[in-house]
Amino acid sequence: GENVEQHPSTLSVQEGDSAVIKCTYSDSASNYFPWYKQELGKGPQLIIDIRSNVGEKKDQRIAVTLNKTAKHFSLHITETQPEDSAVYFCAASRPGGGNKLTFGTGTQLKVEL
Amino acid sequence: NAGVTQTPKFQVLKTGQSMTLQCAQDMNHNSMYWYRQDPGMGLRLIYYSASEGTTDKGEVPNGYNVSRLNKREFSLRLESAAPSQTSVYFCASSEQGPPTDTQYFGPGTRLTVL
């Protein structure tokens, strides 16, 4: 089955700096790659996603890039703010099979003032 | 719209006790999912229901059973709880197929088994 690895497990940046979180996946048939943000005591919330027919997608300060050949994708957050502090999860799924997601192990992002 | 709701929010059980975690969604989604979240291990799929009337095992189904009661509700049952089932449980729902296959998560149930 699919295996998703995520790095780093913790990331500390200064407010205003950029943050990058990287994930690799093992199943070449995977074609959907969402990123979730989880605040303390809450459920994960989708912040951005990308499909395999696209190499990059941006939404304001957040961007995701996908390299299908290397089977890795990354989350980029620019101009970080204290409210960006949370745990971020990448995930992957393949067509069919009920849209099952395989998650990475998460990155604790801390934005320091 | 409440989205995905879960009850209870917190639960403490003794080893061997049973309980059912409830999940409901009001988004008319076809698919529903149960995950568990453990420190350092991300979210792992326990069971899912691609559509009303169907259920399938995920990555870690042992010790659990599920019921898709109707399109809105998907429950998770622990027949004989074990300390290894101490975790935070999340329910999620989605439509099937792009571009509407985003999974929406509930607030979670924090379960402790003593």
Nearest-neighbour CA in chain B from A14: distance (Å): 24
SS3 B9: coil
Test B44 with A49 for CB contact under 8 angstroms.
no
The continuous run of DSSP H or E covering A35 comes out as strand A32-38
The three-point CA angle B45-B21-B106 to 5° equals 65
- pLDDT the model gives residue B98: 58
User: Which residue does chain B place closest to A42, by CA atoms?
Assistant: B107
Q: What is the pLDDT of residues A44-60, one digit of tens each?
A: 999 999 988 888 999 99
> At B17, is the pLDDT very low, low, confident or very high (cuts 50, 70, 90)?
very high
Whole-number pLDDT of residue A1: 83
With 0-12 / 13-18 / 19 or more C-beta atoms within 10 angstroms meaning exposed / middle / buried, residue B91 is: buried
pLDDT beneath 50: ranges in chain A = none
Cβ atoms of residues A101 and A44 within 8 Å: no
Nearest CA to B5 out of B91, B77, B112 is that of B91
The span from the CA of A33 to the CA of A37, in Å, is 14
CB within 8 Å: A44 and B90: yes
Point out which residues pair with A7 in neighbouring strands.
A22
The band of B100, judged by pLDDT with boundaries at 50, 70 and 90, is: low
Which residues of chain B neighbour A101 with C-beta distances below 8 Å? 33, 43, 45, 103
For residues B60-78, average pLDDT? 96
Contacts of A106 in chain B (CB under 8 A): 40, 42
The rounded distance, in Å, linking the Cα atoms of A111 and B13 is 37
Do B66 and B76 meet the contact criterion of CB atoms below 8 Å apart?
A: yes
AA identity, residue A44:
P
Position A75 scores a pLDDT of: 98
Q: A62 is written with which tokens?
A: 């957040």
Q: At residue B71, does pLDDT exceed 80?
A: yes
Q: Considering chain B, what is the average pLDDT of its residues?
A: 93
Contact A46, A34 (CB under 8 A): yes
Beta carbons within 8 Å of B79's beta carbon, 6+ residues apart: B18, B63, B65
Whole-number pLDDT of residue A96: 76
pLDDT score for A48: 96
A95 prior amide bond cis, ω within 30: no
Q: Tell me if A100 and B108 make a contact (CB, 8 A cut-off).
A: no
What local confidence, expressed as pLDDT, does residue B99 receive? 59
Nearest to B42 among A93, A98, A104 (CB): A104
**What are B87-98's pLDDT values in tens digits?**
999 999 998 765
Q: How many angstroms separate the CA atoms of A68 and A48, rounded?
A: 18
Q: In 3D, which of B7, B85, B92, B4 has the Cα closest to residue A91? A: B92
pLDDT tens column, B38-47: 988 889 999 9
